[in-house]
């Protein structure tokens, strides 16, 4: 039970950070349409679906892709 609580807390933190990174990038871009941000949202939603289905490693991989797309958007 303790391990699952730690994993759940880590996943919640990863989810929160990636969400905030997308929102922050959108605000820095002043709402300007950006294909990288659009793709980041696609990856974010995919990660959430994987997480909800218990596929944590795949979810983490997609969360990492979100961060990559956010970085691309801000170049």
pLDDT digits (tens, 9 = 90+) for 26-48: 999 987 778 999 999 999 999 99
Of the candidates 16, 11, 20, the one whose C-alpha atom is nearest the C-alpha of residue 59 is: 11
Which range of residues forms the domain containing residue 50? 2-73
pLDDT at 5: 92
Model's pTM, two decimal places?
0.90
E strand or H helix at 17, and its extent? helix 2-28
Helix axes 35-52, 56-73, angle to 10 degrees: 170
The mean per-residue pLDDT over the stretch 47-70 comes to 97
**Apex CA 41: angle with CA 53 and CA 54, to 5°?**
10
pLDDT at 33: 78
Q: How much of the chain, in percent, has pLDDT values that exceed 70? A: 100
Total domains in the chain come to: 1
């Amino acid at each position: 039970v303790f391990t699952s609580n730690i994993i759940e807390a880590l996943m919640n933190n990863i989810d929160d950070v990636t969400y905030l990174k997308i929102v922050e990038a959108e605000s820095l871009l002043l709402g300007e349409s950006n294909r990288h941000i659009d793709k980041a949202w696609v990856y974010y939603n995919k990660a959430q679906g994987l997480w909800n289905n218990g596929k944590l490693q795949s979810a983490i991989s997609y969360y990492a892709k979100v961060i990559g797309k956010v970085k691309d958007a801000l170049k």
